[in-house]
């Protein structure tokens, strides 16, 4: 299989791109995905990566940490090259001006022209999508919801990061970088594929109903008619002042059947709680409790690989909050070991995408 991964710690854009080019040789990928952390010139890197892989479609983004095989990295550039025996066809579009954009249809026309049919007519058993979004745009829900209206193709991805500086994040396509934008990449894998969503929480049976919220700022002012911080704190047996210390272990989840779609709180602001993703009025959210992230991921990955019947490449979008939890519990080596020996690449995100925008989750695309 013509799949290779590599990483570079070089800070110079030309040096990093050249090192990655050499590491991915002698294969000639048709698609290169790269994920770049650290204080670097992202525009110069995007241009250098395009020059380094002139025969490939090159897509990337900035990160809050990078993943290659069993290594969790910081400040590197990770790349994965996929050959035509793994990806039969691929095309990408840039969705610009996300905050002001009301519709996506016109931006998607190049995809429909490339694949020769409307997105609504693409076979979801044959095609899949990857979505990289400016992680500070606040537009993830709107974008993924609108895409879900236009196609049945399953789309996974992540929100670009900037090493927890929360100042500016970038997505990149064909040698250019963008903020307030997203890159949508549609793939036709040459063999089978599977999408995996995994998180490590169990519901505690305590529900909080959102009764007052500002969706634009992702702020909940009231749960069950009470100040949000006080109601949340009572549900987990603590005080509003101590609530942030419990955020990582006790986020909230929108339950779909028995599966939680995690909404992670960011901060207490007065009597309100600000979240990392959208929480709407009327939502009923379950209080969650963390479980074993290593064991849960091991089981989910093993089941997906068995169902797929083989694995040539894995693209991983892993929440930065998961990375912080893994580090705080001393599980970095054990977690990385789950991916050792695999042609895996990805990054730590500001949010994960799968049927919506979620947190403290890992979404993966597995290619056979």
Per-residue pLDDT of the chain (368 residues; tens, 9 = 90+): 589 999 999 999 999 999 999 999 888 899 999 999 999 999 999 999 999 999 999 999 999 999 999 999 999 999 999 999 999 999 999 999 998 887 898 899 999 999 999 999 999 999 999 999 999 999 999 999 999 999 999 999 999 999 999 999 999 999 999 999 999 999 999 999 999 999 999 999 999 999 999 998 999 999 999 999 999 999 999 999 999 999 999 999 999 988 899 999 999 999 999 999 999 999 999 999 999 999 999 999 999 999 999 999 999 999 999 999 999 999 999 999 999 999 999 999 999 999 889 999 999 999 99
Query: Across the strands, what pairs with 128?
Result: 187
pLDDT of residue 2: 85
Which pLDDT does position 252 carry in this prediction?
A: 97
Q: What is the pLDDT of residue 1?
A: 52
For residues 168 and 12, give the distance between their C-alpha atoms in angstroms, rounded to a whole number.
20
Report pLDDT for 258. 87
Rounded Cα distance between 347 and 123, Å, is 28
How far apart are the C-alpha atoms of 367 and 345, rounded to whole Å? 12
DSSP characters over 77-113: EEEEEE-TTTEEEEEEEEE--TTT----TGGGHHHHH
Other C-beta atoms within 10 Å of 214: how many? Answer: 13
Dist CA 182 CA 160 (whole Å): 9
Q: Are 352 and 359 in contact (CB under 8 A)?
A: yes
Q: What is the pLDDT of residue 102?
A: 79
DSSP string, 241-265: GGGGGGTTTS-EEEEETTEEEEE-E
């Amino acid at each position: 299989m013509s799949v290779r991964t590599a990483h570079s710690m070089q800070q110079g854009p030309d040096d990093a791109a050249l090192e990655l080019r050499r590491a991915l040789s002698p294969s000639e990928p048709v698609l290169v995905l790269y994920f770049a952390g650290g204080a670097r010139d992202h525009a110069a890197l995007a241009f250098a990566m395009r020059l380094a892989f002139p025969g490939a479609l090159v897509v990337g983004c900035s990160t809050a940490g990078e993943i290659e095989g069993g290594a969790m990295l910081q400040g590197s550039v990770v790349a994965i090259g996929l050959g035509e025996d793994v990806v039969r066809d691929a095309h990408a579009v840039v969705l610009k001006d996300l905050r002001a954009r009301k519709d996506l249809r016109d931006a998607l026309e190049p995809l429909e022209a490339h694949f020769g049919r409307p997105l609504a007519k693409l076979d979801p058993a044959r095609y899949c999508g990857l979505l990289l979004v400016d992680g500070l745009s606040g537009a993830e829900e709107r974008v993924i919801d609108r895409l879900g209206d236009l196609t049945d193709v399953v789309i996974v991805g992540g929100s670009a990061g900037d090493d927890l500086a929360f100042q500016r994040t970038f997505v990149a396509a064909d040698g250019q970088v963008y903020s307030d934008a997203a890159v949508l990449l549609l793939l036709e894998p040459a063999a089978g594929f599977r999408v995996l969503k995994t998180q490590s929480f169990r519901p505690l049976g305590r529900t909080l109903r959102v009764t007052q919220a500002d969706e634009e700022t992702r702020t909940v002012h009231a749960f069950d008619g009470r100040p949000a911080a006080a109601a949340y704190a009572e549900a987990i047996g603590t005080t509003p002042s101590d609530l942030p210390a419990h955020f990582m272990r006790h986020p909230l989840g929108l339950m779909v059947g028995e599966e939680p779609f995690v909404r992670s709180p960011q901060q207490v602001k007065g009597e309100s709680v600000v979240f990392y993703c959208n929480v709407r009025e009327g939502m009923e959210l379950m209080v969650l409790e963390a479980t074993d992230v290593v064991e849960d991921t091991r089981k989910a990955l093993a089941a997906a690989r068995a169902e797929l019947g083989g694995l040539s490449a894995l693209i991983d979008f892993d929440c930065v909050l998961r990375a912080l939890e893994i580090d705080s519990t001393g599980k970095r080596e054990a977690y990385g070991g789950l991916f050792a020996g695999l042609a895996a690449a990805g990054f730590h995100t500001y949010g994960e995408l799968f049927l919506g925008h979620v947190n403290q989750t890992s979404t993966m695309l597995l290619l056979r």
